[in-house]
Structure 1
Amino acid sequence: MSEPLVPDVPALFDLTGTVALVTGSSRGIGRALAEGLAGAGATVVLNGRDPDRLARTLDELDARLGGGRVHAYAFDVTDEAAVAEAVARVETEVGPVGVLVNNAGVQHRVPLVDLEAADWRRVLETDLTSAFLVGRAVARSMINRGSGKIINIASVQSDLARPGIGPYTAAKGGLRTLTRAMAAEWARSGIQVNALAPGYLATEMTQALVDDADFNAWVLGRTPAARWGTPADLVGPAVWLASPASAFVNGQTIFVDGGMTVVV
């Protein structure tokens, strides 16, 4: 009997046996992605800099998903030595990282002419350099194994600019190009590197914007879907990029923005 032309579809999205490290996952987008990957079968490693908040998130997800499915490691993703040590510990204590989600990020809303250089560096280091540091640390073992998935969380600001968020725009634009560079170097080793670029999502970090009547009206009018996104909107695309279903997708940035970047 000949091999089926179409593989078993549920198996394509099954992450059972895969260790997924999600940076910046004690809340918001990162937490939703971690829970979604765990729901697809992955063993998830949470990360954040606040040990107390991380412990609370671990306890909550443990209660929901069952013990042993979720782990937590507090480390600063902008600290090269701390990243190397943490990744080594995760791979020894939990298992080889098969999926990395570079989600950690910060925002700083100040006009460029008033922006302090220290704040510029802080945003670039957190939103861009950390993806290089953690990505490099994880890729070294992925290359040796001949497989792996890296998902960088970019933004519509990877492609668009808005006044007052210059360093964030620069960092997310750089992250889109870093995604291509990683794919160019690591695809031959069986690694797929892609990015998700969310539109405006209602999260703890954006709550002030949601509550601003003028800004809320702008988002609703500017987005063809006429709504804010939610972290849950990213879960399906993230599971797809983390799974065997996306085995021939590499170096791409997938915009999950309700259509914002396709209209003028």
Structure 2
Amino acid sequence: MKNAIITGATKGMGRAITIALAKEGINVAVCSRNAEELAAFEAELKAINPQIEVAAMVADASDKQQLKKFAEFTEKKLGFIGIIVNNVGMYKHASILNDSDDSFEKQVNTNLVPAYELYRFFGKSMVSVGEGHIFNICSVAGINPIAEAGVYSVTKYALLGLNKVMRLEMQQHGVKVTAIIPGSTLTDSWKGMEVDKNQMVLPEDVASAIITIYKMSKGANVDEIVIKPAGGQL
């Protein structure tokens, strides 16, 4: 059985991706800051597929020490981790000049550092086995920056850059790296705003793209995939 670790798994895209992996018979490791939410999601995953193992731990992925403890816990409980989904992220609608003093550090620690740290933690074992697939959930803001979400755009640019370096470092070792680049997707980022879900990318769309890419032949890798609303960005 294959094993996957997913950050930011209890909501939005992370939730849809985790459910899709569970349905494929893949063991999953998930974390959340909220113990109740995590316990409910763990029970839901086991109901979806009683055959899989679920490693669930209360942890804040933006805190380096907690993230490392979660990685250690995952490896101990599941063994070799062949799939990493770096999904955890935060969106803040603010221009850089009008942003709060702690915003840059907060968003770097949420949108960029977890992907870097999990790569460092699991990367060498992937190289030694000669297989694995890392998915980094980037954003179209990392291609076309949004001035009104300045720091967010910068961190997503950086994540896309990290994805490219990972891919170059890993391609000679049989490990695949894919940047998933969604546009306007129906997640908690849109909470409190009037939106038409029929004009947006759904979390399940991102999940099905990941499953399709993961199931491709050994010799094929999708470097980057951009998924935007059919009618254009909102």
Do both share a fold (TM > 0.5)? yes
Matched position secondary structure for 2:188:
coil
**Deviation for aligned residue 1:244:** 4.4
The AA in structure 1 aligned to 2:124 is R
Partner of 2:206: 234
Matched position secondary structure for 2:102:
helix
Matched, 1:50 2:34: yes
Partner of 2:114: 130
Query: Is the 2:25–2:49 Cα contact (8 Å) retained in structure 1?
Result: no
Unaligned runs of 5+ in 2: none
Larger radius of gyration: 1
Map 1:37-186 → 2, pairs under 5 A:
37-66=21-50, 68-186=52-170
Name the % identity. 24
Rounded to whole Å, the distance in 2 between the matches of 1:91 and 1:54 is 19
Greater Cα offset, 241-250 or 117-126: 241-250
Q: Deviations over 1:14-33 (max 9, x none)?
A: xxx11011100011110100
Name whichever structure is richer in helix by fraction.
Answer: 1
**Deviation for aligned residue 1:170:** 0.7
Partner of 1:245: 217
**Deviation for aligned residue 1:86:** 2.2
Rounded to whole Å, the distance in 2 between the matches of 1:239 and 1:117 is 39
Partner of 1:187: 171
Matched position secondary structure for 1:113:
coil
Query: Is the 2:55–2:74 Cα contact (8 Å) retained in structure 1?
Result: no
Unaligned runs of 5+ in 1: 1-16, 221-225
TM-score (norm 1): 0.81
Query: Is the 2:133–2:176 Cα contact (8 Å) retained in structure 1?
Result: yes
The AA in structure 1 aligned to 2:220 is F
TM-score (norm 2): 0.90
Structure 1 residues 203 and 79, CA gap change in structure 2 (3 angstroms) = closer
**Deviation for aligned residue 1:123:** 0.8
Q: Deviations over 1:68-93 (max 9, x none)?
A: 44331222323333333322221121
Rounded to whole Å, the distance in 2 between the matches of 1:173 and 1:259 is 23
Query: Is the 2:12–2:186 Cα contact (8 Å) retained in structure 1?
Result: no
Rounded to whole Å, the distance in 2 between the matches of 1:259 and 1:129 is 31
**Deviation for aligned residue 1:114:** 1.1
Matched position secondary structure for 1:195:
strand
Size of the aligned set, in residue pairs, is: 233
Matched position secondary structure for 2:8:
coil
